[in-house]
Chains A and B, each alone.
Chain A
Amino acid sequence: QKEVEQNSGPLSVPEGAIASLNCTYSDRGSQSFFWYRQYSGKSPELIMFIYSNGDKEDGRFTAQLNKASQYVSLLIRDSQPSDSATYLCAVIADSWGKLQFGAGTQVVVTP
């Protein structure tokens, strides 16, 4: 079974600070990595995807991928209370596009 590991949190972050979320994966052959945000009672929303080593920035979000270390991270700059949610790391697990999710990290941004 391919594994995706995340700290479950909660990760408490002061408003305006940087939230740093980490994810490791077990399948060295994985090529596609995703971050989904899920508010309580809602469905997952895709916020970032990354396929190549290095950094990818989109607004206040930066995804970082290190395939050699089998590690992907998400930074949220200038955190806002509206960023309070569970962040799910996901990896494509097979050729059919099956998403293997981590357990999710709950982020709480405190005013």
Chain B
Amino acid sequence: DTEVTQTPKHLVMGMTNKKSLKCEQHMGHRAMYWYKQKAKKPPELMFVYSYEKLSINESVPSRFSPECPNSSLLNLHLHALQPEDSALYLCASSRTTGNTEAFFGQGTRLTVV
């Protein structure tokens, strides 16, 4: 089973709203990632969590706030987003960090109005 589940699948939010994206995996993976993908571009890394600790923040604006409550869950809290933040947000997991395969969830299509 290589399933990573993301909710919601679609989200429309205003620039003053606060919302959260959720990601769950039950593969026992200890590394989890958030990527952002704009239309016709490849995914770009935002955050890496390793053993529930934030390891990498790729200079992401503070309006994006990640959280890893336990080894199976990863959240991305959104606040005061801009229209240019509209994108496909992808969660991924792998057994550990380093040279292992990563599996993506189905993504959350976010539109900021």
Contact = CB atoms under 8 A, between A and B. Distances in A.
Interface stretch (B11-19, B66-74, B79-87, B90-98): B90-98
Given A43-B88, A44-B90, A92-B98, A99 B103 contact: no
B1 interface: no
Interface in B96-113: 96-107, 109
Residue among A34, A92, A99 with most chain B CB within 10 A: A99
B45 interface: yes
A102 B43 CA distance: 9
A98 B97 CA distance: 8
B27 interface: no
Given A46-B104, A95-B97, 18 more contacts: A31-B99, A32-B100, A34-B102, A43-B88, A43-B105, A43-B107, A44-B43, A45-B104, A49-B101, A88-B42, A96-B31, A96-B98, A97-B33, A97-B96, A97-B98, A97-B100, A97-B102, A101-B43
Binding site secondary structure of chain A: loop
A42 interface: yes
Interface of A: 31-32, 34, 36, 41-46, 49, 51, 88, 92, 95-99, 101-104
A104 B44 CA distance: 13
Contacts of B45: 98-99
B21 interface: no
Contacts of A104: 42
A97 B106 contact: no
A42 B106 CA distance: 7
Nearest to A51: B99
16 contacts: A31-B99, A43-B107, A44-B104, A45-B104, A46-B101, A51-B99, A92-B99, A95-B97, A96-B97, A97-B31, A97-B94, A97-B98, A99-B45, A101-B42, A103-B42, A104-B42
A29 to B, nearest CB: 11
